[in-house]
């Protein structure tokens, strides 16, 4: 995968098998496929195109995931959340630690951004370092001029 500062992709990618954990399947024979279309330079975030055929299954999240449903529909339910249908154009955010029951109706295709969360103190340190880099280093890697030099 490229490490260019700007990358582009198309949603019409070749999807490879991405089996659902068999113990999570509740009903049917859902078949999932996916393709990673981008990955952050630290390896903690990625964008995935994911497709799944009809079935019901549990999903347990060990990362934050934001999805945009591109095709098809699902019914989601979770503790404290009654079943609700979502379709093309809907955006859903699952926090690290979430559990949802998925019922894929026919098929679903989604674009997902997944981010492995870090302990708060590490996230804070990363934000401080990034802020300092933006203040003192230009995008092309040169030291930014100080106010006295400008």
The yes-or-no verdict on residue 134 having pLDDT over 80 is no
Angstrom CA distances, 27 to 19, 24, 35, 39, 75, stand at 15, 9, 25, 32, 14
Sign of the C-alpha dihedral computed for residues 25, 27, 29 and 33 taken in this order:
negative
Q: What is the pLDDT of residues 62-100, one digit of tens each?
A: 999 999 999 999 999 999 899 999 999 999 999 999 999
DSSP secondary structure string, 33-88? EEEEEEE-TTSSEEEEEEEEEEEEEEEE-SSEEEEEEEEEEEEEEETTEEEEEEET
Distance CA 147, CA 114 (A): 39
Looking up tokens 């955006």 gives 91
User: Among 3-7, 18-22, 24-28, which is the least confidently predicted range?
Assistant: 3-7
Q: What structural domains does the chain harbor?
A: 16-117 (2.60.120.10), 119-150 (no CATH)
User: For position 128, what pLDDT does the model report?
Assistant: 78
In this predicted structure, the answer to whether residue 22 has a pLDDT above a threshold of 70 is yes
7, 47 Cβ separation under 8 angstroms = no
CA 78/CA 84 separation, integer angstroms: 10
pLDDT, mean over the chain: 88
Q: What is the pLDDT of residues 91-124, one digit of tens each?
A: 999 999 999 999 999 999 999 999 987 766 766 6
Question: pLDDT at position 149, please?
Answer: 54
């Amino acid at each position: 995968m490229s490490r260019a500062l700007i990358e582009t992709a198309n949603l019409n990618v070749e999807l490879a098998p991405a089996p659902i954990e068999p113990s999570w399947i509740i009903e049917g024979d859902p078949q999932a496929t996916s393709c990673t279309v981008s990955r952050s330079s630290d390896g903690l975030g990625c964008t995935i195109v994911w497709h799944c055929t009809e079935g019901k299954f549990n999903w347990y999240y060990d990362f934050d995931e934001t999805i945009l449903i591109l095709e098809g529909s699902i019914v989601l339910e979770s503790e404290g959340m009654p079943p609700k249908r979502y379709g093309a154009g809907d955006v859903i955010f699952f926090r690290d630690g979430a559990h949802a029951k998925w019922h894929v109706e026919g098929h679903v295709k989604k674009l997902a951004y997944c981010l492995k969360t870090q302990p708060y103190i590490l996230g804070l340190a990363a934000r401080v370092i990034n802020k300092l880099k933006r203040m003192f280093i230009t995008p092309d890697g040169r030291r930014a001029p100080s106010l006295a030099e400008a």
